[in-house]
Amino acid sequence: MSFIRKNNKPVDKALLLFSFILIVFYSLLRFIQSGTLIVWSFIPVMLLGVIFLYENLHTLNNRENIFSALSIFLAFGFTFFYVVPFNQIIWDYWPSILNNEGMKEWVGLWAILCIVGFFLVVVGFKSTRVKIKSNLSYHINTKKMHIPFLIGIFFCLLCQVIVLIKLGGYSGYLNSYEMRLEGSIQNYNPYAGFGFLFTFSESLPNLIAIYIVLLIKDKEWSKSVKVLLCLIVFLFLLNMLFGGLRGSRSTTIWSLFWFIVIYHNNIKKLNLKLLIGLGAGFFLFMTTYSLYKFGGIEGVQGLWDKDIKAQVFEHKYIEDSEKFALVRDAGRTDVQSFIIKTYWNEDYPLSYGRTLVAGALSFVPSFLLPNKPVTAIKEKTGIFWSDYSFTETNYTTLLAGGYGEFIINFGILFGLVFFYIFGVLISYIDGFCRALPKDGIFNLLSPIFILLSIQMLMSDSNVISQFLFRFITIPLIVLYFCPKLVKNNN
């Protein structure tokens, strides 16, 4: 049985023992090869590795739904809770942490708290039951969906045209990003005031992805791998034109994930081999795109010129780009460990929910709420830059992640409530996905809710609220105008 999945079967002792042996053997081998002294913090990190490896092997062995919020949490959690902290201990690598003395010990405490947190996720997940009683189901009316989708696509395209006119075409669009890079020290942002326009214009690839799936889902040729790969390439290029070229790496990744999930649910189940290949492609994009993100058009030359690559990352004070990519794109170990250290030593006051309220309101445009409360960047600047005061041009961009932000608000122990809430949420998401029709409104939007299992671990509340608003608003409005009611057989 799984620790977290809802069944009454006993724990698979053989699988658990195999997971334990594999993690211990690999971990000890890495320590010996690196020449690093084994420290006590290695033990709780290793236990996290055993737990998440066991859960993932159970998922594969029992052919569980790999695109559920729970499965995504477990798959990403192996990297987040084991791979990243384990490697940071071995490397003794703590980017952006100025006072990093004793960080290995604080990672140990973080890992112990995360083990407790995992079992709180289990409690929250298993204590939640989703029951939907209705005689009617909302499906998409494929005969009447064309007008709402075409109007939505035209509206998004119009917003992109307005963006390009304001910035001077795609050349101005790219130049604005270059200017943003040059002015990043002063936190200059040439895209300021474009938030609402970007919300609408960058919804175009997502609308088109949903529309394509609904159009071709009953066609036999749509099940071809070649068709899938062609659609992924097409949507990738579309995403680069609608958001990717302004340094928004996540917009492209999340949009492609959205398409793959609804393709998997509505057209053809994708096998593990293909999904691993697609995952490798995503990882390659994440690592290579950082050259453009940090260096602009010139930085792309770093793909074949090692000197330019070194200059790009030196400009950002990044000593090792590969280590930095793993630590920042797949974990929050050092950030959350330093936050734990800060509150253990009582070096900064608690916020008592202030940042969560500010985060929930952050997506509201300034013309509707001109005096929006400052998000968690105020507290994080005080924690990580203790010698500096927060101002509009002087702040840290480090993300604390869900547990980190809960510590900032409620302290180390009460912050563990985050994990229980997290378990309840992913249980509700998976429950709705199982109970509602695959071609219904919720399941077509469900990939974005499923991604909360990653976003809540990695992001602060303001990032999450903006993420939901940006990805959900336009598709939800369009889908609202093309449902049909179907009577359930009870």
Domain membership of residue 447 (yes or no) is yes
Average pLDDT over residues 82-108: 88
Structural domain boundaries enclosing 72: 13-126
Domain membership of residue 410 (yes or no) is no
Domain membership of residue 408 (yes or no) is no
CB 391, CB 334: distance < 8 Å: no
Domain membership of residue 196 (yes or no) is yes
Residue 184 and residue 35 share a domain: no
Q: What is the mean pLDDT of the chain?
A: 83
> Which amino acid would we find at residue 175?
N
When pLDDT is cut at 50, 70 and 90, the band that residue 490 belongs to is very low
Residue 277 and residue 213 share a domain: yes
When pLDDT is cut at 50, 70 and 90, the band that residue 456 belongs to is very high
pLDDT at residue 130 tops 90: no
CB 42, CB 89: distance < 8 Å: yes
Predicted local distance difference test score (pLDDT) of residue 58? 87
Quick: pLDDT tens for 55-70: 999 888 887 888 899 9
Domain membership of residue 69 (yes or no) is yes
Q: Which is more confidently placed, 221 or 289?
A: 221
> Among 211-225, 226-240, 358-372, 468-482, which stretch is predicted with the lowest mean pLDDT?
358-372
When pLDDT is cut at 50, 70 and 90, the band that residue 240 belongs to is confident
Residue 278 and residue 193 share a domain: yes
Residue 95 and residue 227 share a domain: no
Residue 247 and residue 156 share a domain: yes
User: pTM higher than 0.85 for the full model?
Assistant: yes
| Residues 182, 484: Cα–Cα separation, whole Å | 51
Which one of 102, 126, 150 terminates a domain? Answer: 126
Which one of 104, 126, 148 terminates a domain? Answer: 126
Residue 284 and residue 209 share a domain: yes
> Which amino acid would we find at residue 368?
L
Domain membership of residue 232 (yes or no) is yes
Q: Count up the domains in the chain and report the number.
A: 2
Quick: pLDDT tens for 16-72: 889 999 999 998 888 888 777 778 888 999 999 999 999 999 888 887 888 899 999
Q: What is the DSSP annotation of 107-150?
A: HHHHHHHHHHHHHHHHHHHHT-------SEEEEE-TTT-HHHHH
Domain membership of residue 233 (yes or no) is yes
Domain membership of residue 349 (yes or no) is no
Cβ burial of 101 (10 Å; 0-12, 13-18, 19+) is: exposed
